[in-house]
Amino acid sequence: MSEKADFLVVGLGAMGSATLYQLARRGAKVIGLDRFSPPHTLGSSHGETRITRQAVGEGRDYVPFVMNSQRVWRELEAETGEHLFNACGVLVMAPGVGEVSHHGKPDFVIRSIDAARAFGIKHEVLNGKDVTGRFPQFLGLQGNEKVYYEPGGGYVMPERCVHAQLTRAKALGAAIRTNVEVGSIAQTGTSVRVETTAGTFEAGQVVVSAGAWNAHLLGAPFDRLLTVNRQLLHWFELEDTSAYRADAPVFIWMHGATDVDYFYGFPPPSGDRRLKVATEQYETRTTADTINRVVDPAESAKMYRQHVQGRMAGVTPRVAQAAACLYTVTPDRGFIIDRHPEQDSVFVISACSGHGFKHSAGIGNAVAEKVAEGRSSVDLSAFSVSRF
């Protein structure tokens, strides 16, 4: 006997919890399945904070997602009483001379400014000297840096967002099965069978949002397109928080010529004496099942030396906390949000490439529209599988 629903959502992290919630809001009979019990620390959606900015330098096609996401976070805050989105502002800084690429895109600051102008997003164009005058936590700026400042940007709390969407989905009638691992997904005619460690499930359509496990679960062509990279988050102890004032923004700071000469960070919440920072790497591949989740103190020491030291005020090399996390990356560092090329009742979301969280609530809404109503209010053509 199989359990039946209109829709199944496989994987309930950032993308899956959002999709489940949006389908439940539409009154659909939907079941969500996850191999663990989200929110958890084994995928891509942990570590307390994620940057959000509306003027998305990765491309204008993303802007509707982040706009919708910020609206959904605010709605969820009103419904659940949880604080999810801190609009503390965001700074994107790049050297004054030369081009620097970020997330695979050249001249990221200029692209951000252009997107802000095109969509009427409130912003300021600054230079390094302005930043030094306004935000004393940043040290050693030359003065001529190109800087984009978005006062309405900031950060969202990923574990809280996942939890809030799952809670609301359940209240709206969705069934949630945790600690249930999906082994295979097969479409026959108009129905899709999903074999799991808790038996067989059947639905008219299945949304697969298994994050770093997508390639393994889906096979070709996704196993060829998706690579997984281990990324690290570090929290360094602050001995003096006085430079981090109430208006302290989130920041993305490109300080050298290559796309790894960069780090990003979050202002410490009031009363917290930890500075959370991270960089990115795309060289070393891993898998969701074999990743080394232990951060070696030498890895944090390298992060401090290469990026933090001399650039941030009041920070010490003492590591308060560190975590490993997973990026699932496509060849052009964009997203895949599309039907499976061979099983048209299976819809795939692989929206990471290191910048997916800010878009997740909006992606969940767009995918729910697409599978439940046949068309999405957001143009998804830039996220097709066929572009590869």
Ligand X SMILES: Cc1cc2nc3c(=O)[nH]c(=O)nc-3n(C[C@H](O)[C@H](O)[C@H](O)COP(=O)(O)OP(=O)(O)OC[C@H]3O[C@@H](n4cnc5c(N)ncnc54)[C@H](O)[C@@H]3O)c2cc1C
Q: Decide if residue 282 touches ligand X (CB under 6 A).
A: no
Count of residues touching ligand X (by CB under 6 A): 38
- Tell me the window of 8-16, 85-93, 119-127, 364-372 that interacts with ligand X (CB under 6 A): 8-16
What count of other Cβ atoms lies within 10 Å of the Cβ of residue 134?
15
Binding mask 34-53 for ligand X (x = CB under 6 A): xxx-x----xxx-x--xx--
Contact at 8 Å (CB) between 165 and 19? no
Per-residue b or e along 50-81, where b marks 16 or more CB atoms closer than 10 Å to that residue's CB? bbbbbbbbbbebbbbbbbbbbebbeebeeebe
**Nearest alpha carbon to residue 149 among 269, 277, 247, 49:** 247
Q: Decide if residue 210 touches ligand X (CB under 6 A).
A: yes
**Of the residues 128, 153, 154, 211, which one makes contact with ligand X according to CB under 6 A:** 211
Q: Decide if residue 209 touches ligand X (CB under 6 A).
A: yes
Q: Is 119 exposed, middle or buried (0-12, 13-18, 19+ CB in 10 A)?
A: middle
Q: Decide if residue 357 touches ligand X (CB under 6 A).
A: yes
- Tell me the window of 11-19, 87-95, 126-134, 313-321 that interacts with ligand X (CB under 6 A): 11-19
Give the angle subtended at the CA of 339 by the CAs of 338 and 345, to the nearest 5°. 150
- Tell me the window of 13-21, 267-275, 336-344, 362-370 that interacts with ligand X (CB under 6 A): 13-21
CB of 325 to ligand X, least distance (A): 3
C-alpha dist (Å) from residue 206 to 64, 270, 289, 293, 330: 24, 42, 23, 30, 22
Closer of 95 and 265 to ligand X (Cβ): 265
What count of other Cβ atoms lies within 10 Å of the Cβ of residue 231?
20
Q: Which of residues 174-193 bind ligand X (CB under 6 A)?
A: 181-182
- Tell me the window of 28-36, 92-100, 167-175, 300-308 that interacts with ligand X (CB under 6 A): 28-36
Q: Decide if residue 9 touches ligand X (CB under 6 A).
A: no
**Of the residues 255, 311, 358, 370, which one makes contact with ligand X according to CB under 6 A:** 358
**Nearest alpha carbon to residue 100 among 286, 326, 263, 329:** 263
Separation between Cα atoms, residue 282 and residue 237, nearest integer Å = 27
Q: Decide if residue 64 touches ligand X (CB under 6 A).
A: no
**Nearest alpha carbon to residue 217 among 350, 70, 78, 381:** 350
Q: Decide if residue 128 touches ligand X (CB under 6 A).
A: no
User: Which residues contact ligand X (rule: CB under 6 A)?
Assistant: 10-16, 33-36, 38, 43-45, 47, 50-51, 181-182, 209-211, 213, 217, 231, 233, 278, 325-327, 351-352, 354-358
